[in-house]
């Protein structure tokens, strides 16, 4: 301590000598600067200061003197004060103390600092203040707060059940477990705990008598769950008999409401080959299939000569072994009446004709059809072939015969005109003596001939005729 005083005295002597050397220059200083950490000692309050005056500071409340620092400044000849040392530092209050079942939140422990306390989850602060402030004397304000555990009252009883453990009150995170009497099912959470808010984690459960009825699914067999009773979570697995397909879940489970879930499945019968339609055919992908599961759809396309009907569905669906009735979704191609012909007409005559319907042309006035006499309505709505015509049929002169001729003789003959053959030298006409011009432009029958009666063929013919008469006579006698 004596060394520190001696050092200070030497500093003051040096400052006084310097002030004396520059005594030829005089000036005044204003009030000494105000320091955050220090204040003028009382004896310098309200005084005037001239060059060479020295003032001293004390540390403000909440600050402590820093050893080996100068707490004085001097008025210089230029009327300003010398720059002061930092000779005080903030006082520390030390650690304010930890909080059981809580946390301390602080940046530092110096004068003026505030620290805050919070309680852990499930604990409530029962103190008036949740903070402490470092005071000028190095002590903390208030006391360390207190965190008290959250309390829950009894969770409550349930009908046909009980819970354990049973106490008057429960602390945060204490738990209880509920149970039902034998044969009943607990609905809800079996375990509950006391929360940080002082209530219980779940609503009270209940005890329920859960029983599901024995289900029936037509055309099915059971793979599991053959016999009841069926209680909560009991399960049954189904399969369908041959020829039926399963629709819906194969396994169902008894739920808390005594209902099966998901809904019961169905066993639906398969369909055979789709119906044949005169106006449509199945699309190729369905043509070779002979059985179809319920719910399957098949599509048709219109036959040749039929057109789709707008807005009509060309689909049918199988439902439980029965095909749906299809709409008429194709209509036959229509042809307008064909062209009329001169010297003829066609039958039947109608306002319109369907695909493949036929008309037949016929001619009048000894004229003959030239072309196809029959035409039909095609798939394009047009008539087959070209329109025929009715023309007068012409025959060229018929063949001449040896030893005879025919009359009349002309360059050409009309349809149905007739010629007559005759023989010379008492010969006889063999064959048809008359021929007529047919509608094909050919003559009827074959060309006759002239025979004098000595011809071997005539003799043979007469012999055959004689034998025939003999046989007929003998047969007649047998019967009569």
**pLDDT score recorded for residue 474:** 58
7 and 86 share one domain: yes
Q: Which residues of the chain have pLDDT under 50?
A: 1-26, 458, 464, 472, 475-476, 478-480
Residues 295-305: tens digit of each pLDDT: 999 999 999 99
* Token pair in block for residue 80: 């300003």
Using alpha carbons, select from 447, 405, 407, 443 the residue that is nearest to residue 424.
405
Domain termination residue (choose one: 67, 90, 113): 90
24 and 66 share one domain: yes
Q: How far apart are CA 293 and CA 270, in angstroms?
A: 5
**pLDDT score recorded for residue 315:** 95
Whether 214 is covered by a domain: the verdict is no
Q: Are 180 and 160 in contact (CB under 8 A)?
A: yes
Whether 274 is covered by a domain: the verdict is no
Q: How far apart are CA 372 and CA 124, in angstroms?
A: 113
Whether 285 is covered by a domain: the verdict is yes
C-alpha distances (whole Å) from 209 to each of 187, 255, 322 are 10, 11, 43
Domain housing 314: 280-332
Q: Which residue has the tokens 């809904």?
A: 263
Q: Are 350 and 344 in contact (CB under 8 A)?
A: no
**pLDDT score recorded for residue 24:** 39
Q: How far apart are CA 150 and CA 120, in angstroms?
A: 10
**pLDDT score recorded for residue 415:** 81
Phi, psi of 462 (to 5 degrees): -65, -35
Could you check whether the bond before residue 262 is cis, i.e. omega within 30 degrees of 0?
yes
Whether 300 is covered by a domain: the verdict is yes
Residues 7-39: tens digit of each pLDDT: 343 433 333 434 444 443 445 999 999 999 999
Using alpha carbons, select from 131, 172, 132, 165 the residue that is nearest to residue 151.
172
How many domains are there within the chain? 7
* Token pair in block for residue 230: 């069926």
CB within 8 Å of 444: residues ≥ 6 apart: 432, 435, 436, 437, 438
Domain termination residue (choose one: 229, 249, 269): 269
Cα angle 329, 331, 336; round to 5: 160
**pLDDT score recorded for residue 271:** 94
CATH number at residue 361: 2.10.70.10
pTM of whole model > 0.85?
no
258 and 294 share one domain: no
Where are the strands (E) in 113-250, listed by range? 114-119, 123-125, 131-133, 147-149, 151-152, 161-164, 170-171, 175-180, 185-187, 191-193, 206-208, 220-224, 235-240, 244-247
């Amino acid at each position: 301590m004596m060394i520190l005083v001696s050092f200070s005295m030497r500093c003051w002597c040096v400052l006084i000598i310097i002030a004396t050397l520059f005594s030829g220059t005089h000036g005044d200083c204003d009030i000494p600067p105000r320091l955050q950490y220090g204040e003028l000692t009382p004896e310098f309050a309200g005084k005037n200061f001239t060059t060479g005056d020295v003032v001293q500071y004390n540390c403000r409340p909440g600050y402590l003197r820093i050893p080996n620092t100068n707490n004085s400044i001097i008025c210089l000849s230029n009327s300003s004060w010398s720059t002061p040392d930092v000779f005080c530092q903030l006082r520390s209050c030390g650690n304010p103390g930890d909080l059981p079942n809580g946390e301390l939140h602080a940046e530092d422990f110096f004068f003026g600092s505030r620290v805050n306390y919070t309680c852990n989850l499930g604990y409530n602060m029962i103190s008036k203040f949740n903070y402490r402030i470092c005071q000028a004397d190095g002590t903390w304000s208030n006391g360390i707060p207190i965190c008290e555990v959250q309390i829950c009252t009894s969770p409550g009883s349930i009908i046909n059940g009980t819970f354990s453990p049973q106490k008057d009150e429960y602390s945060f995170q204490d738990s209880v477990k509920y149970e039902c009497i034998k044969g009943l099912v607990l609905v809800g959470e079996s375990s509950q705990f006391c929360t940080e808010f002082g209530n219980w984690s779940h609503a009270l459960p209940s005890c329920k008598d859960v029983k599901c009825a024995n289900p029936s699914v037509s055309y099915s067999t059971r793979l599991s769950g053959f016999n009841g009773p069926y209680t909560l979570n009991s399960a049954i697995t189904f399969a369908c008999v041959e020829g039926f397909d399963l629709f819906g879940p194969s396994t169902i489970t008894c739920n808390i409401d005594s209902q099966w879930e998901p809904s019961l499945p169905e066993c639906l019968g398969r369909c055979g080959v789709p119906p044949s339609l005169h106006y449509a055919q199945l699309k190729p992908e369905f043509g070779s299939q002979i059985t179809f599961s319920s719910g399957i759809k098949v599509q048709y396309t219109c036959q040749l000569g039929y057109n789709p009907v707008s807005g009509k569905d060309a689909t049918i669906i199988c439902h439980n072994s029965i095909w749906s009735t299809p709409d008429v979704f194709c209509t036959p191609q229509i042809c307008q009446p064909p062209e009329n012909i001169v010297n003829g007409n066609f039958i039947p005559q109608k306002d319109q004709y369907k695909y493949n319907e036929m008309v037949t042309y016929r001619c009048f006035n000894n004229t003959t059809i030239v072309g196809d006499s029959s035409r039909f309505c095609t798939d394009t709505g047009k008539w087959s072939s070209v329109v025929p015509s009715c023309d007068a049929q012409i025959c060229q002169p018929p063949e001449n015969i040896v030893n005879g001729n025919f009359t009349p003789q002309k360059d050409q003959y009309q349809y149905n005109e007739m010629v007559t053959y005759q023989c010379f030298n008492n010969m006889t006409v063999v064959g048809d003596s008359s021929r007529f011009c047919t509608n094909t432009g050919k003559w009827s029958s074959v060309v006759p001939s002239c025979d004098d009666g000595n011809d071997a063929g005539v003799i043979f013919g007469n012999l055959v005729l004689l034998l025939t008469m003999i046989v007929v006579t003998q047969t007649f006698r047998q019967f009569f």
